[in-house]
Amino acid sequence: MKQYQIAVVVGSLRKESFNRKLASAIAKLAPADFSFRQVGIGDLPLYNQDDDAGPADSVKRLKREIIDSQGLLFVTAEYNRSIPGVLKNAIDHASRPYGQSAWAGKPAGVIGVSVGSTGTSMAQQHLRNVLSYLDVPTLGQPEIFLQAKDGLFDEAGDIGAGSRKFLQNWMDRYVAWVKKHAA
Ligand SMILES: Cc1cc2nc3c(=O)[nH]c(=O)nc-3n(C[C@H](O)[C@H](O)[C@H](O)COP(=O)(O)O)c2cc1C
């Protein structure tokens, strides 16, 4: 059976991040031929085009993990109605040098959770704009805008009963999307 390795990019460095928790929980809804690995972005330097010729080891590692994956999952926080700078920094790093982007063609999903009732919708929309430019085919529907509140996760850290059916449907659609577009 062909295996699909998914590179998961969490748009938050916070230790107790709801988005990191969501990334771990939703991965458990995937079928056995999918495996998910969260890629580290907290050790990346600030992107500087002067470094394109000699990228840091963390940048090379990030690009390798993206290139070796068959799909992408972005699970992002919303900061000031956009994506957190740490996520944009990671995206910029792996998009360069010009013509050597690691992102191009990798099928992606975009989800997120915030404490606000708009559930990262603005951040996701900004992220979709960036991914479109980077030639990343991104699942359009269903959209997932989650608010962090009691019951979203159960005591084991899994998706709570109230959201499970909805998120399982998203995962099923995401799996089909990756299979359709993966190289
Ligand atoms: C700098 C900053 C800006 C924020 N801006 C927004 C925002 O625009 N919309 C929103 O819903 N929540 C906003 N929040 C609250 C986040 O939803 C909340 O901190 C959330 O826990 C972040 O996700 P995380 O738990 O994965 O780190 C902001 C938080 C910070 C620290």
Separation of alpha carbons 109 and 104, rounded Å = 14
Ligand 1 atom nearest residue 20's Cα: 26
pLDDT tens per residue, range 30-59: 999 999 999 999 999 999 999 999 999 999
Is 116's C-beta closer than 6 angstroms to any atom of ligand 1? yes
The vertex-122 CA angle with 116 and 62, nearest 5°, equals 105
Segments of the chain scoring below 70 in pLDDT: none
- Residue 1 has a pLDDT of 84
The CA distances from residue 100 to 52, 61, 79, 164, in Å, are: 11, 14, 29, 38
> 79, 111, 145: which to mutate for ligand 1, most atoms within 8 A of CB?
79
- Residue 111 has a pLDDT of 98
**What pTM was computed for the model?**
0.98
- Residue 83 has a pLDDT of 98
